[in-house]
C-alpha cells in the first residue's frame, strides 16, 4: 500500500485525494491546507483522511511514502524542495515552479536523493491527446504545417500567475510531446484587462523545428469554454475538442494538391481535395486518474515518469521566453536549448 499526503486542498487538490483513495494499492492518508474551511470540507467528504494545517506534519510522518503538491504555483518550489529533503516521492501540479534555476535545482535534488519527481502535465494522460499523438506519429497527418490551440473560458482567475503560466503550460506540454521537441523561438502579445500586473489574455506564436508553426490562444476573459487543437498536415487535418462527448477527435481527409497546366512549364494551380470526416474511437477515461495511476507505477517500479521534472523544465523555458516576449511587445525571443 502506498500512502499519499496531499498538500493543498483548494479546487484541484480534492480530485487527487479522491483518486488516491480509489486507485488500487494507494491510500490518501493525510492532507494539508492553510484554510480551516477547506480542511473541514475534506474531513466531511473523506472520512478516513487525517487533515492538518501544517504540511510539515505530513513530511514528518513515517508512513507517508509520497506527496502531491496542489498549492498555488508560487509555493511549488519551496514545498517540492522540502518534500524531497524529507525523503518523499513527489507529484507536483503544473507548472513545476516559476523559473529555470529553480527547476534545475529541483531536478538535481531529486536525482541526488533518488526520489521520483513528476509534474502534473495532465493532458499527456488525456486519451484524445494520446490519439492525436498516434495520428501524428504513424504519419497519418503527413508533414505538419501548423497547429493551433484555443484554451479559453470566463475565469477561473488567478492572482499569483498570469493566464500564460496557468493555461498555456498545458498547451506547451502537449505540443512538446506531439512534436518530440522544443520550440526554437517565441513571439507573444497579451492583455492585462482585469488585473494591473497579470495578463489574462495572450496570443502566442511558437516556432518549432522542421518549420512547424504553432499558435496558442489562452484567456480567462472569454464568453466560451473552449479546449481545442487543430492540426494541419499535408495528408490530413485533425481537430481535437476536449468538450465533444461524441468523439473528441475528428479526422478531415482534406488537403491541397498542386495541379500543373500541361501546356506551360512550371505553372500550377492549387486544388482543394475534399474527403470524408471520420471520428475514431477514443476511450473516454479520467486523465487525472490515469496520471495519478502512472505516479503510483513510477513509485513502485522506480521508473522515470512520462512527465518527469526535465519535461517540466522544458515547459518553463518556453514560459520564461513567452514572458520576455510579452514584456517587449511581441519581440521574437529565442528559447534556450
Ligand atoms: N492539471 C490541471 O488541469 C489543473 C487544474 C486546476 C489547478 N491545477 C493546479 O493545481 C494547483 C492548485 O490549484 P487550485 O485551483 O486548487 O488552487 P486553489 O487556490 O483553489 O487552492 C490552493 C490551496 O492551497 C492552499 N495552500 C497554499 N499554501 C499552502 C501551504 N503552504 N500548505 C498547505 N496548503 C496551502 C490554499 O489554502 C488553497 O486552499 C495549481 O498549481 C494549479 O496550477 C491544475
How far is CA 9 from each of CA 57, 119, 158, rounded to the nearest angstrom? Answer: 15, 17, 16
Look at the pTM and tell me if it is higher than 0.85. yes
From the list 327, 293, 212, 286, the residue with the least C-alpha distance to 25 is 293
User: Going by CA atoms, what residue is nearest to atom 10 of ligand 1?
Assistant: 70
Q: Assess whether the C-beta atom of 12 lies below 6 angstroms from ligand 1.
A: yes
Environment class of residue 261 by beta-carbon count within 10 Å: exposed (0-12), middle (13-18) or buried (19+)?
Answer: exposed
Q: Which of 71, 77, 97, 287 to mutate to test the pocket of ligand 1 (most atoms within 8 A of CB)?
A: 71
Identify the structural domains of the chain with CATH numbers, from first to last: 2-122 (3.40.50.720), 124-287+317-334 (3.30.360.10)
Distance between CA atoms of residues 77 and 316, nearest Å: 13
Torsional sign, CA 67, 68, 70, 75: positive
- Residues ≥6 apart with Cβ < 8 Å to 247: 279, 280, 281, 282
**CB neighbours of residue 72 within 10 Å:** 13
DSSP code, position 168: I
What local confidence, expressed as pLDDT, does residue 264 receive?
67
Q: Are strands 2-7 and 26-32 parallel, antiparallel or unpaired?
A: parallel
Residue nearest to atom 38 of ligand 1 (CA): 10
Q: What is the H or E stretch that residue 185 is in?
A: strand 185-191
For the record, the C-alpha cell of 11 comes out as 479546487
**Residue 245 has what pLDDT?**
85
Which residue from 142, 137, 134 is spatially nearest to 232, judged by alpha carbons? Answer: 142
**Backbone CA torsion sign across 287, 292, 293, 295:** positive
Does ligand 1 lie within 6 Å of residue 168's CB atom?
A: no
The list of the chain residues with pLDDT below 70 reads 262-266
Amino acid at each position: 500500500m502506498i500512502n499519499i499526503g496531499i498538500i493543498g486542498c483548494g479546487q484541484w487538490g480534492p480530485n487527487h485525494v479522491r483518486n488516491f483513495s480509489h486507485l488500487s494499492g494507494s491510500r490518501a492518508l493525510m492532507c494539508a491546507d492553510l484554510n480551516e474551511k477547506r480542511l473541514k470540507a475534506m474531513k466531511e467528504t473523506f472520512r478516513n483522511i487525517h487533515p492538518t494545517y501544517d504540511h510539515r506534519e505530513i513530511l514528518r510522518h513515517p508512513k507517508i511514502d509520497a506527496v502531491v503538491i496542489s498549492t498555488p504555483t508560487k509555493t511549488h518550489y519551496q514545498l517540492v524542495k522540502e518534500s524531497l529533503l524529507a525523503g518523499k516521492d513527489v507529484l507536483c501540479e503544473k507548472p513545476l515552479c516559476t523559473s529555470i534555476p529553480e527547476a534545475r535545482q529541483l531536478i538535481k535534488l531529486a536525482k541526488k536523493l533518488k526520489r521520483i519527481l513528476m509534474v502534473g502535465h495532465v493532458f499527456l494522460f488525456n486519451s484524445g491527446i494520446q490519439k492525436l499523438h498516434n495520428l501524428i506519429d504513424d504519419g497519418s497527418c503527413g508533414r505538419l504545417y501548423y497547429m493551433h490551440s484555443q484554451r479559453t473560458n470566463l475565469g477561473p482567475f488567478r492572482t499569483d500567475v498570469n493566464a500564460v503560466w496557468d493555461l498555456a503550460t498545458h498547451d506547451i506540454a502537449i505540443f512538446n510531446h506531439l512534436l518530440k521537441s522544443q520550440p526554437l523561438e517565441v513571439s507573444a502579445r497579451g492583455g492585462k484587462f482585469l488585473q494591473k500586473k497579470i495578463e489574462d489574455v495572450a496570443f502566442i506564436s511558437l516556432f518549432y523545428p522542421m518549420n512547424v508553426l504553432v499558435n496558442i490562444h489562452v484567456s480567462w476573459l472569454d464568453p466560451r469554454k473552449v479546449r481545442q487543437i487543430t492540426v494541419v498536415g499535408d495528408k490530413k487535418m485533425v481537430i481535437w475538442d476536449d468538450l465533444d462527448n461524441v468523439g473528441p477527435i475528428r479526422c478531415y481527409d482534406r488537403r491541397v494538391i498542386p495541379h500543373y497546366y500541361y501546356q506551360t512549364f512550371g505553372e500550377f494551380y492549387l486544388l482543394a481535395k475534399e474527403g470524408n470526416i471520420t471520428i475514431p474511437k477514443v476511450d473516454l477515461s479520467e486523465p487525472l486518474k490515469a496520471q495519478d495511476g502512472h505516479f503510483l507505477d513510477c513509485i513502485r517500479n522506480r521508473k522515470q515518469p512520462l512527465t518527469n521534472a526535465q519535461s517540466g523544465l522544458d515547459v518553463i523555458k518556453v514560459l520564461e521566453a513567452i514572458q520576455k516576449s510579452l514584456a517587449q511587445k511581441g519581440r521574437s525571443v529565442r528559447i534556450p536549448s
